[in-house]
Amino acid sequence: MSEKDHQPTDFIRQVIEEDLKSGKHKEIVTRFPPEPNGYLHIGHAKSICLNFGIAQEFEGQCNLRFDDTNPAKEDVEYVDSIKEDVRWLGFDWGDNLYFASDYFEQLYTWAVDLIKEGKAYVDDQTAEEMSKGRGNLQTPGENSPFRDRSVEENLALFQEMRDGKFGDGEKVLRAKIDMAHPNMNMRDPVLYRITHIEHHRSGDKWCIYPMYDFTHGQSDALEGVTHSLCTLEFEHHRPLYEWFIDNIDVPSKPRQIEFAKLQLTYTMLGKRNMRFLVENDYVSGWDDPRMPTISGIRRRGYPSEAIRNFCHNVGVTKFKSTHDIGLLENEVRQVLNRDALRFMAVLDPLKVIVTNYPEEKVEEMDAVKNPEKPELGTRKVPFCRELYIERDDFMEDAPKKFFRLKPGGEVRFRCAYWLKCEEVIKDENGEITELHCTYDPDTRGGENPPDGRKVKGTIHWVSARHAVDAEVRVYDRLFKEENPDAAEGSFLDYLNPNSIEIKNAKLEPGLGEIEVGETVQFERLGYFCVDTDSSDDKKIVNRTVPLRDSWAKIAQKS
Ligand code: ATP
Ligand code: MG
């Protein structure tokens, strides 16, 4: 690409290019700063792809930094899962793994500096009093009665806070900025609070913890981050971010830039609500394949490439918008259509007896492994006298346009033969238990017979004698409402009661060899992934996505 043709793909990359061109920065450093208080979700993937993607494109560096300043909610379990998820998405932080908790001593020193300069003070007010004194958008706040404490008194009190002389919430350290500032975040924000809780890394070393705002920008500065990319809700925090950078002797001056969060239809992101679903058993865990967590969609069989493609395609803007989850599912289909091996599987089996086929005979039929990759060649699929077909591929009182199997009708069994339904066998309740069919030996491989007769339908099947049993979990959207977060009432009212359906399926024998985590195509049905719950005795398979977007079809019809 020539210099002239090259256009930055979004406003952030544009800023970065200008900063490189002007010489403001020689190397670009970004960071992904998760708080280890839950599992990552698809929204975080957008931030990961943005931060790590920029570092790759501009040959810079992206740090993984855990923003672990709130010991009450954080845990190593989350640290480990976040690392695994970032790696799985295809990114690498190299040696640049950091924890905000490693900066506690430096942050404390900086807080002391602010006190010495008369820019911070210890406040004894209760949380309620402070909130009242802060005013609101129409009314300016009022100065705290403790605002004019001497530097000496503040230094002594802050040291005592650190030494554990006070209980939780008894005192805070606040910046002395402006209680009448039009931006509420600038009205003497809290810098430190007292919390007597052990930290998952620093143990009981600290009982005062810095607030997010007092931590984030300085951590960026310590790491030499050039562009600190965050979501729009931090826009109003930017003046404070800059106030700290300007009023503290930091080693570098990062710039905060905000972009719009990723939001998806039929999906609820946000750790708080996801935790609620997990803790109250609405789902089986953070990695339930219906969850929009990275671990959930990985387990469901989404390839990481599809997620990267999706994040790339939705782009980065300043405008709040919600993307159709169908777009993500389409990216999944595209990658899997290219890569997934094909197999046959019957989710809702109906027995077929081929009455004119010899009892002991077995033929190995040739079937293409992946039509998108002809170089992979073919696989062998056993055919014998007893088969299974999908129950809904047969219809007793079929309308004219029904081109699958019906009494007296003939249909192609994929890569095998043409079969004709001669007799329908039922039990005492009138339930169909078996079909008796005959096959035409002149149609081997599914070829047209010499007499020129035609069939319209092709169906999939599995040899009953060779089939592998499996539990197939057919997933659908977790919510039936487009925007469960914003809809009236609780999001629980909008849970889809049919978001999981269990099928006792019969699989083509080759599927017995497919490993946990691998995603394949079940012909005519969709993409399926072997689940981590599988054991040697029992195969468990997740439906990743159906072949087509059934929701789009419903929308078209109505
Ligand atoms: P949530 O509460 O939804 O889990 P969070 O912002 O509290 O999100 P953090 O761990 O603090 O979670 O986020 C780490 C990074 O990911 C932050 O830079 C944050 O802005 C970004 N991020 C979080 N949610 C989204 C989203 N939906 N789209 C894009 N980036 C996001
Ligand atoms: Mg958060």
Residue nearest to atom 1 of ligand 1 (CA): 270
Phi, psi (degrees; rounded to nearest 5) at 411? -145, 155
The confidence score (pLDDT) of residue 9 equals 86
Task: Flag whether pLDDT at 82 surpasses 60.
Answer: yes
DSSP labels, 100-161: GGGGHHHHHHHHHHHHHTT-EEEE---HHHHHHHT--SSS-----TTTT--HHHHHHHHHHH
Ligand 1 contact, 36 CB (< 6 A):
no
And the tokens for 3? 């210099």
| CATH number of residue 66's parent domain | 3.40.50.620
Count of structural domains, the chain: 4
Residue nearest to atom 16 of ligand 1 (CA): 44
Whether residues 152 and 227 share a domain: the answer is no
Whether residues 294 and 188 share a domain: the answer is no
Whether residues 426 and 304 share a domain: the answer is no
Whether residues 455 and 484 share a domain: the answer is no
Among 435, 463, 491, the domain boundary falls at 463
Residue 43 CA to ligand 2 center (angstroms) comes to 12
Q: Is residue 337 part of a domain?
A: no
8 Å CB contact between 296 and 290: yes
Nearest atom of ligand 1 to the alpha carbon of 270: 3
Please report which confidence band the pLDDT of residue 513 belongs to, taking 50, 70 and 90 as the band edges: very high
Residue nearest to atom 2 of ligand 1 (CA): 270
Q: What residues does 382 pair with on adjacent strands?
A: 364
Among 437, 463, 489, the domain boundary falls at 463
Residue nearest to atom 5 of ligand 1 (CA): 270
Q: Is residue 380 part of a domain?
A: yes
Residue nearest to atom 10 of ligand 1 (CA): 34
Residue 35 CA to ligand 2 center (angstroms) comes to 6
Task: Flag whether pLDDT at 485 surpasses 90.
Answer: no
Q: Is residue 55 part of a domain?
A: yes
CA dist., res. 298 & res. 474, Å (int) = 16
Q: Is residue 5 part of a domain?
A: no
Whether residues 109 and 202 share a domain: the answer is yes
In this structure, which ligand is nearest to the CA of 272?
A: 1
In angstroms, the Cα distances linking 82 to 9, 153, 294, 492 are 27, 42, 9, 27
Residue nearest to atom 25 of ligand 1 (CA): 43
Task: Flag whether pLDDT at 557 surpasses 50.
Answer: no
Please report which confidence band the pLDDT of residue 549 belongs to, taking 50, 70 and 90 as the band edges: confident
Whether residues 319 and 387 share a domain: the answer is no
> Could you tell me the pTM of the whole model?
0.94
The confidence score (pLDDT) of residue 294 equals 98
Q: What residues does 503 pair with on adjacent strands?
A: 472
The CB-side HSE value for 130 (13 A sphere, CA atoms) comes to: 21
Mean pLDDT of the chain: 95
Q: Is residue 59 part of a domain?
A: yes
In this structure, which ligand is nearest to the CA of 316?
A: 1
**Which 3 state secondary structure label does DSSP give 493?**
helix
| CATH number of residue 447's parent domain | 2.40.240.10
Whether residues 481 and 443 share a domain: the answer is no
| CATH number of residue 147's parent domain | 3.90.800.10
Mean pLDDT in residue range 177-204: 97
Mean pLDDT in residue range 514-529: 97
Query: Pairing state of beta strands 539-546 and 526-530?
Result: antiparallel
Mean pLDDT in residue range 256-277: 96
Q: Is residue 407 part of a domain?
A: yes
Residue 33 CA to ligand 2 center (angstroms) comes to 10
Please give the residue range of the domain that contains residue 139: 105-210
Percent pLDDT > 90 in the chain is 94
And the tokens for 229? 């990319």
Mean pLDDT in residue range 171-196: 98
Ligand 1 contact, 262 CB (< 6 A):
yes
The confidence score (pLDDT) of residue 486 equals 82
Among 421, 437, 463, the domain boundary falls at 463
Q: Is residue 3 part of a domain?
A: no
Residue 294 CA to ligand 1 center (angstroms) comes to 13
The confidence score (pLDDT) of residue 552 equals 62
**Which 3 state secondary structure label does DSSP give 425?**
strand
Closest residue by Cα to residue 181 from 231, 222, 141: 141
Indicate the top mutation candidate among 30, 39, 40, 47 to test ligand 1's pocket, ranked by most ligand atoms within 8 A of CB: 47
The confidence score (pLDDT) of residue 487 equals 80
Please report which confidence band the pLDDT of residue 6 belongs to, taking 50, 70 and 90 as the band edges: low
